[in-house]
Amino acid sequence: MTTNDSGTSMVAVDEIKYTVDYTPATIEFDHFDELKSQLLQYTQQFESMEVNEATVKEAKKVKSKLNGLKKQVNDRRISIHKTYEQPYDAFKQKVDELIGIIDKAVKPIDTAAGALAEQDRERKRQMVEQTINEVAPEYGIDPANVPVRPTWLNASTSQSTFIRELGQDLLGIQDHAKKVIADREAVKAYAAANDMDPSGWLAQIDDHTSFVDIRPRMDTAMMQRKQEAEAAQKRAEAAAAVAALNQEQIGEKTVDTETGEVVAVEQMELEPEPKQDERKFVRAFRITATADQMWALADWMKANGIDYEPIKEARP
């Protein structure tokens, strides 16, 4: 016996005795083997029974008798089962009542213990954060960038385990920061070497993407830029070639033969300059070539100081 704060005598938990008298019930199935043998003899004669128009009525009568016997056997089982479970159901009700009393007493203890455990976790969190604030700057790391592992707040986690894991995390953050710096420098250098704006690629580094993953994307962007420039140049050359077909040199002016407008021609200094005393010859040629080849030939003649002018072909 124990005494509570009010002086009332109480039974100690260790003194509460829990005993249950239980005698396993037995179910005797009298003459089971004899009944089984009789049923086998009776049913075997119908296993090979041929059911047709002549025997179907008799077969249905046999089926009805067998189903009646099956129901009789099963109904007896159900009746015994119900009787067998009655004492257990009454016993279970009493056990549930006792468990309810215990649960009611345990609930406030659980609530109080949970509150104390949460207070312990908060005290440990403060200790963990204070340690991080003291140690992280020694690694050149902002304490705000050091995540707190949930296991560090568990009562089962020792101080030595916490310090060891914190050191591992700080070294990992330090190595990652060095890698980010190296990746940023690599992006800047690669962008400068290929005349690219690095800002968009640097943003990907800040978004936790490594230079190893970014470089193929930069190569793809460069290839696309090159293809677009080549396509634009070809469009311009094609447009110039088409325009040249409709132009005619009249004196010192180039005239569009379709619109009659004077076409402005950019003056280009030719190198090398011809000597004043060199004789010049005029020859007429009919040249068959593509537009690109024509422009290449024109560039070569200009570069070598050779004058040329288009001759409008007589139309039939």
| Structure confidence by residue, pLDDT tens digits, 198-244 | 988 999 888 888 889 999 999 999 899 889 988 888 888 887 776 66
The answer to whether the CB of 196 falls within 8 A of the CB of 218 is yes
- The C-alpha atoms of residue 174 and residue 146 are separated, in whole angstroms, by 11
Q: What span, in angstroms and rounded, lies between the C-alpha atoms of 137 and 2? A: 57
Model confidence at 70: pLDDT above 50: yes
Domain count, the chain: 2
Is there a domain that residue 33 lies in? no
Residue 106 has pLDDT above 70, yes or no: yes
Tens digit of each residue's pLDDT (9 = 90 or more) over 82-104: 888 888 888 899 899 989 988 99
At 255 the three-state DSSP class reads: strand
Measured N-to-C along each axis, helices 199-206 and 159-193 cross at an angle, to the nearest 10 degrees, of 170
Q: Give CA separation, 99 vs 88, 103, 109, in Å.
A: 16, 6, 16
Flag whether 185 is in a domain.
yes
Under the banding of pLDDT at 50, 70 and 90, the label for residue 54 is confident
Residues 200 and 251 in one domain: no
Q: What local confidence, expressed as pLDDT, does residue 287 receive?
A: 72
Please give the backbone phi and psi of residue 256, each rounded to the nearest 5 degrees, phi first. -75, 120
Task: With respect to residue 113, please indicate whether it lies within any of the assigned structural domains.
Answer: no
Specify the amino acid at residue 316: P
Alpha helices by DSSP H, the chain: 32-47, 56-135, 159-193, 199-206, 211-245, 291-303
Residue 150 has pLDDT above 80, yes or no: yes
Does some domain include residue 106? no
pTM here is: 0.45
Same domain, 226 and 246: no
- Pair (255, 213) in one structural domain: no
Residues spanned by the domain of 299: 242-268+282-316
| Cβ proximity of 202 and 184 under 8 Å | yes
**pLDDT value of position 170:** 95
- At 244 the pLDDT is 65
pLDDT at 269 (0 to 100): 46
247 & 192 share domain: no
Which percentage of the chain shows pLDDT scores above 70? 79
The more confident residue out of 18 and 191 is 191
Query: Is residue 171 included in any domain, yes or no?
Result: yes
Token output for 64 = 């009805």
Give helix 32-47 / helix 56-135 axis angle, nearest 10°.
110
258 and 221 in a single domain? The answer is: no
| pLDDT confidence band for 164 (50 / 70 / 90) | very high
Task: Kindly report which listed range (54-68, 143-157, 288-302) carries the lowest average pLDDT score.
Answer: 288-302
Residue 257 sits in the same domain as residue 293:
yes
In a domain, 211, yes or no: yes
On average, the pLDDT of the chain sits at: 81
Is residue 51, in this structure, part of any structural domain at all? no
Q: Is 48 left (phi over 0), alpha (psi -120 to 50) or beta?
A: alpha
On whether both 212 and 250 belong to a single domain, the answer is no
**CB-based contacts of 27, cutoff 8 Å, min separation 6:** 80, 84
Judge whether 84 lies within some domain: no
Please tell me the predicted confidence (pLDDT) of residue 162. Answer: 94
Give the residue with greater pLDDT, 258 vs 180: 180
